[in-house]
Structure 1
Amino acid sequence: MRWGSQLAVGLRPVVDLVYPPRCPLCGGAIAAQEGLCGDCWSLLDIPARGIAGCEEHGGVAVHAATYYNDASRRLVLAYKHGGKITLAGLLARLMAARLPDPAQADRKPLLVPVPLHRWRLWQRGFNQAALLAHELARLGKGEVLVDALMRQRRTPSLGGLGREARERALAGAIAVNPKRASVIAGRAVVLVDDVFTSGATTRACIAALGGAGARSIAVACFARVDEAATIRDVWTGPSRRGLRPENETPEAF
Structure 2
Amino acid sequence: MAADGSIERSYRIWQRIQTAIKVVYPPRCIGCGEMTESDFGLCGPCWRDTPFIGGLVCASCGVPLPGEDDGDRVECDDCMRQPPPWSEGRGTLLYAGKARALVLALKHGDRTELARPAARWMAQAGRSLFRSDMLIAPVPLHWSRLLKRRYNQSALLAQHLGKTVGLPVCPDLLLRSRRTPALEGKTAAERTETLRDAITVHPRRADRLPGRPVLLVDDVMTSGATLAACARACRAAGADDISVLVLARVAKDA
- For the 8 Å contact 2:51–2:97, the answer to whether it is kept is no
**1: CA distance between counterparts of 2:177 and 2:149?**
18
How far has the Cα of 1:66 moved from its partner? 1.8
Moved more, 92-101 or 112-121: 92-101
Q: Counterpart of 2:148 in structure 1: which amino acid?
A: Q
The count of residues paired between Structure 1 and Structure 2 equals 221
How far has the Cα of 1:9 moved from its partner? 8.0
- For the 8 Å contact 2:131–2:213, the answer to whether it is kept is no
Which stretches in structure 2 are left out of the alignment for 5+ residues? 1-10, 63-74
How far has the Cα of 1:15 moved from its partner? 4.1
Counterpart position of 1:231: none
Counterpart position of 1:127: 152
Counterpart position of 1:92: 119
The TM-score with structure 1 as length reference comes to 0.78
Structure having the higher Rg: 2
Aligned-partner SS, 1:222: strand
**1: CA distance between counterparts of 2:57 and 2:127?**
12
Aligned-partner SS, 2:179: coil
**2: CA distance between counterparts of 1:78 and 1:15?**
25
How far has the Cα of 1:166 moved from its partner? 2.7
CA RMSD of superposed structures (Å): 2.7
Change (3 A) 1:52 1:17: farther
**1: CA distance between counterparts of 2:243 and 2:212?**
12
**2: CA distance between counterparts of 1:144 and 1:131?**
10
**2: CA distance between counterparts of 1:79 and 1:8?**
31
Counterpart position of 2:34: 28
1:72 aligns with 2:99: yes
Identity %: 40
Which stretches in structure 1 are left out of the alignment for 5+ residues? 1-5, 229-243, 245-253
How far has the Cα of 1:117 moved from its partner? 0.6
Aligned-partner SS, 2:116: helix
1:116-168: CA deviation from partner (whole Å, max 9, x where unpaired): 01111111111101111111111125210111100011111222334444333
Which residue of 154, 170, 194 maps to 2:219? Answer: 194
**1: CA distance between counterparts of 2:57 and 2:166?**
19
**2: CA distance between counterparts of 1:9 and 1:82?**
33
Change (3 A) 1:162 1:188: same
